[in-house]
Amino acid sequence: MEDFPSDAIRNFSIIAHIDHGKSTLADRLVEGFLTGTIAKLRKGEQQTLDKLKVERERGITGQYSSNSLFKSKYASFGYLFEGTLKAQTASMFHSYMNKCYMLNLIDTPGHVDFSWEVARSLAACQGALLLVDATQGVQAQTLSVFHVAKEKGLVIVPILNKIDLPAAQPELMAAQMQSTFGVNPSDILHISAKTGKGVEKVLEAIIRRIPPPVSALARNDKRLKAFLFDSSYDKYRGVISLVSIQSGVMQRGDRIQSIATSKRYEVTDLGVMYPEEVPTISLREGQVGWMVCSMKDSAHVGDTLHRVGETVEPMPGFKPTKAMVYAGIFPVDSNDFVKLEESIKRLTLTDRSVTVSRESSTALGQGCRLGFLGTLHMDVFRQRLEDEYNANVIITAPTVPYKVVYGDREVYVSNPTNFPDVTDTSNKVKEVQEPVVKASIIVPEEFLGEMMDLLFAHRAGETDYRYLDDSGASSSRILLTSVMPLSEIVTDFFDKLKSRSSGFASFDYEDAGYKASNLAKMVFLINNKPVDALALIVHRSTEHAVGRAWVKKLHRVIPRQLFEVPIQAAIGKKIVARETLSAMRADVTAGLYGGHHERKLKHLENQKESKRRMKKIGSVDLPQEAFFDILSSKS
């Protein structure tokens, strides 16, 4: 590693949207015919940086699963996106003008739910490849990550991919990139990552345009300073940390200390990702690699590490992750709670953006309340629990954190069970605020009307739009911006967006704070008894529609009882929807042959009276299968 000083190192990432070719380009860069890192991928082999099973199954990086069920389901939900779930790193070595360079590709997720992963990855980079599909043009998520990269001062290398396709329009898309990103068309590289055409120029641009890491040797600073930008967990070795060495040298046996926690560790192993773990003797200034130091608890991502006995200035950390979506996770078998809690703890070691707290439910028993960055983040976490830890879980309906303003304090509520009854004046609730986001939609001009209708149906406001292309373009595309409640996005918004735009719309959003809203807690009563696990927070304008939909859903899944069961949706003391589950009835007159008619009536009246008594004292226990059907069904 001493052969690669700071000026021979380039740290970069790739910015791209859904299926724009990020993973394909990464494969071309690390293949043997370019950099000698790995042998050329065989046809049909999984992509290099897709290490999680869920990444490969769901086609999260553009190489779609062979399982058609996954493809059809998640493509329709708008859940396929470019980039991995976890930020991955691969080191490559390339000779240019008789000098060998070390190129560190620090991969970034592209989906809005994983924006925290993006921020962490870009913090360890000095440049980024801005990859745009020559057939599709600029998309919403590309635009979002581009602005994050510019804020961090990264050098942008613009690239047009898929120029070999018949539908490619490189001149039009280059003009679009110029108007959107302000790049010079002459600086845009034209490549085909699939065939390898022009990829050699990408390596040259990485070396020539992207600056090396800032050297600390000029300041004669030899103190060890390492920036921890990601971590994963191995059951045999503990926490494996990805670090960027800012100054000094890290070697095996070094005693290091965390600035965030003041804990001390001994470096037991280190190396580079080539693209798998390859041990080295040391990691030096400007280099990116992995490190094991017998850390058994979670690493503090964004932390600065230094050698024991030395003092260094800490690196600017990250803002703490702010959960945008909350859901309760309960084991199907209540006896499995201890195992589930341990599995969640282990999984959060590899995903520090998940917040965890215990909660209990009278209907579902003991469980955990988890906070996620988005609904896809939640769904992926659930699947990783099932894949990696064989967990069998029930997830409650996702909710967002609301702000309840009282006269003297503000309270954040993420669990609908704890939401106050705003219809009760004794609670002294001044107002309720809900989180809102600034949404960006890029869509062809012919779908503008459909998108406007969709936004208004989801309580969007402050809507504006502008053309991305010149007015003379044959197929103009529009950037729609709007402010809308986050709760409207975590339901079926993605589904409707893709459906109404025939799959052509791209969507991204960013936090826009809180806004006052007319909200209330909806509870569901089964035989006049509330079920806490099914509580919802709804906008008053949709209370009747939501109430009717849910009571019909409950009516379908609740097993019939020996007595009549009313199913009601209530807000405060007002019933907004009701369905009645009819009783199972035995033919009590079947054994009566002949006799007077009053004899049969007497038996029927006795049966009615018995069912009245059962209804008063009877309880309806919802089986776990019913909860699973209710909470997993979208209809």
Residue 447 DSSP class: G
**Alpha carbon distance 522, 434 (integer Å):** 16
- The answer on whether 594 is annotated among ligand-binding residues is no
Residues 6+ apart with CB under 8 A from 112: 141, 144, 374, 507, 508, 509
Q: Which residues contact 581 (CB under 8 A, 6 or more apart)?
A: 555, 558, 560, 561, 564, 565, 566, 567
Tokens of 493: 């918004």
The answer to the question of whether 286 is labelled as a binding residue is no
Backbone φ, ψ for residue 570 (5° rounding): -130, 145
User: Phi and psi for 274 in degrees, rounded to 5?
Assistant: -130, 45
> Apex CA 343: angle with CA 342 and CA 344, to 5°?
90
The response to whether 163 counts as a known ligand-binding position is yes
Residue 399 is classified by DSSP as B
182, exposed or middle or buried, with CB in 10 Å at 0-12, 13-18, 19+? Answer: exposed
23 is in an annotated binding site: yes
Alpha-carbon gap, residue 263 to 241, rounded angstroms? 15
Q: How many CB atoms lie within 10 A of CB 268?
A: 15
For the record, the structure tokens of 57 come out as 């199954």
444 alpha carbon, distance to own chain's centre: 26
What one-letter code names the amino acid at 527?
N
110 is in an annotated binding site: yes
3-state helix, strand, coil in the chain (%, to 5): 30, 30, 40
| Helical H segments across 152-212, by residue range | 170-181, 199-209
16 annotated among ligand-binding-site residues: yes
> Was 596 annotated as part of a binding site?
no
Query: Cβ distance 32 to 41 under 8 Å?
Result: no
Q: Which residue has the tokens 């970069």?
A: 12
C-alpha 401/C-alpha 7 separation (Å) is 46
Among 330, 393, 394, which Cα is nearest to 366's? Answer: 330
**DSSP-based three-state secondary structure for 49:** coil
Q: How far from 382 is each of 59, 92, 104, 404, CA to CA, in Å?
A: 17, 34, 31, 29
* CA pseudo-torsion sign 296, 300, 305, 307: negative
Q: Is residue 109 part of an annotated ligand binding site? A: yes
Tell me if 107 is assigned to a ligand binding site: yes
Phi, psi of 599, deg, nearest 5: -65, -40
With beta carbons less than 8 A apart as the criterion, state whether 164 and 197 touch. Answer: yes
Cβ contacts of 335 within 8 Å, gap of 6 or more: none
Is the bond preceding 275 in cis, omega lying within 30 degrees of 0? yes
Instruction: Answer for the pair 634, 492: CB distance below 8 angstroms, yes or no.
Output: yes
Q: Which of 122, 82, 86 is nearest to 104 (CA)?
A: 122
Q: Read off the DSSP letter of residue 61.
A: T
HSE (CB half, 13 Å, CA atoms) of 489?
Answer: 29
Instruction: Point out the annotated binding site for GTP.
Output: 16-23, 107-111, 161-164
Binding residues: 16-23, 107-111, 161-164
